[in-house]
Amino acid sequence: MIPAKRRKLGAPAAGPVADVIRFPHVAVFLLEKRMGASRRAFLTGLARSKGFRLEDSYSPAVTHVVSEKNSGDEVQAWLETQTPAGDADRSVHLLNMTWFTESMAAGHPVKIESRHRLQVKAKSGPSAVTNTMGAYACQRKTPLEHHNAVLTDALLLLAENADFCTNEGRSVAFKRAASVLKALPGPVRRMEELQGLPCLGEHCQRVIKEILEHGASSEVEMTRHSEHYQAMKALTGIFGVGVKTAEQWHRAGIRHPADLVSSEHKLNRAQRAGVEYYEHLRVPVTKAEADRIGEIVKRAVDAVLLGAEITLTGGFRRGKQTGHDVDFLITHPDEGREEGLLPKVVSWLEARDLLLYQKTNKNSYLEAKEWPARPPSNMDRFERCFSIFKLQRPWAALEEPPQSGERGAAETPGWKAVRVDLVVTPVSQFAFALLGWTGSQLFERDLRRWAGQKGMSLSSHALYDCEQKRYLRATSEEEIFAHLGLEYIPPGERNA
């Protein structure tokens, strides 16, 4: 039997990544200083051949810096020079070679113990007071309502713009900084209050300082009004359109969804629906609408499989009052009964003219065939339906729709298009799916990174312990937090 994902043998020592990356959430950077270029190249090739992710240069994506014969303070000083843009992520681990060699021997990133860490002298200063905040979003409570919206809106706009420029590292750095500010107990008034907080690089601090002093950041305002940002925001706002496509269209002179209607650009089925319902889908979905859709989905599910259960997840489960879509998990207490459920649910809905668009993917997750520590990417492989619901507006259910008249009602039809994601999970994976689909995105990202750093691999399907070489089962989110050695954070405080 040939494993489906057999590694390429004889990959060049330190060439471009030719091997399968098995631990994408552990991004290792080897410091060349005192190690030397040739030893570094050798170790890089070795690690890559074992499925490790080795970065050629330092970036905010790096999670583990490994050095040889350097003191912690030297590495810390070097790290501070590496972030001219100031996006330094202070959650990066500074490690000695023992972590690296043990990980090579184990064939996976081993859990970081204190003996692996370089000792960095805490900077002595007046303000060792402020900060006990964990550097991972999953270590802290982030409420929905917080005290620093002006600052976080600014940083999140820069994050969004970095996404539009396909600079993920930068985007994540801004999101992390915003998330730290969301978790503060009160509004930031002076820069000194930020001392010692994690994830606030120089660039973020510069933006914050300008807002605190002048009420706004020139960089943020310039970005907000830039043509590229506005066009990318409009185009990526189309259902079915990602940054890559939007960027191509932008280069071809497209600025707005309306430009696509008359252009010769080919749209796929999802994008055609996205353009057609653009004006509907840009209006946020309310909690009341989510609940009404929940009732419809419940009726559909009940009709096709007795005993199936549905759960509202995503932002609404975290307490949000509006969202860009509605996310549901569907399961059945008897494992296996849920198989093939979705096509039947879809037929039920279609027969009642409740769907404007749907695309259903089959479940492609099979634990037995899984590379255990496989990249827990956030694309999971459940049976899943991306859909657009046709939701009747409340007044449309009344006897007399307002001002029916001729077809002039096209501007406010009696229904609203709403994005709905339906995800079916076997009950044995339900807790993982629930944790994975509740979000927020940054919270999930940090959960997976945290797990990686603990020698585990977390996905929306399962948690695998790379050291014990076994899956850790759970029937509740609480158990998963416990497996990860984390304090339980309820959904309402995962708004990182």
By CB under 6 A, name the binding residues for ligand UTP: 314-315, 320, 323-325, 327, 378-380, 436-437, 439-441, 444, 460
Considering only 51, 201, 274, 314, the residue that binds Mn ion (CB under 5 A) is: 314
Catalytic residue among 325, 380, 446, 465: 325
Interaction of residue 375 with Mn ion, rule CB under 5 A: no
Contacts within 8 Å (CB) and 24+ apart, 479-486: 479/431, 480/431, 480/432, 480/435, 483/456, 484/138, 484/447, 484/450, 484/451, 484/454, 484/456, 484/458, 485/454, 486/138, 486/139, 486/450
CB of 280 vs Mn ion, minimal distance in Å: 16
Q: Quick check: 305 and 340 in contact, CB under 8 A?
A: no
Interface with Mn ion (CB under 5 A), residue total 5
Catalytic residue among 19, 87, 89, 327: 327
Stretch that binds Mn ion, among 304-312, 320-328, 361-369, 396-404 (CB under 5 A): 320-328
For the record, the structure tokens of 364 come out as 């492609």
Residues paired with residue 301 on neighbouring β-strands, in sequence order: none
Nearer to ligand UTP, 265 or 324 (CB): 324
Catalytic site residue 325? Answer: yes
Spatial separation of the C-alpha atoms in residues 449 and 136, rounded to whole Å: 8
Q: Are β-strands 27-30 and 64-66 bridged in parallel, bridged antiparallel, or unpaired?
A: parallel
Residue 109 touches which member of ligand UTP, Mn ion, none, C-beta under 5-8 Å by kind = none
Catalytic site residue 421? Answer: yes
Residue 439 touches which member of ligand UTP, Mn ion, none, C-beta under 5-8 Å by kind = ligand UTP
Interaction of residue 109 with Mn ion, rule CB under 5 A: no
Interaction of residue 444 with Mn ion, rule CB under 5 A: no
Nearer to ligand UTP, 111 or 320 (CB): 320
Q: For residue 391, which of 324, 292, 310 has the smallest C-alpha distance?
A: 292
* Torsional sign, CA 360, 364, 367, 368: positive
Interaction of residue 465 with Mn ion, rule CB under 5 A: no
Stretch that binds Mn ion, among 6-14, 134-142, 280-288, 307-315 (CB under 5 A): 307-315
Residues 6+ apart with CB under 8 A from 260: 238, 249, 254, 267, 275
Peptide bond into 218 cis (omega under 30): no
Interaction of residue 327 with Mn ion, rule CB under 5 A: yes
Catalytic site residue 327? Answer: yes
Catalytic positions, please? 325, 327, 421
Residues of the shown chain interacting with Mn ion in the complex, contacts defined by CB under 5 A? 314-315, 323, 325, 327
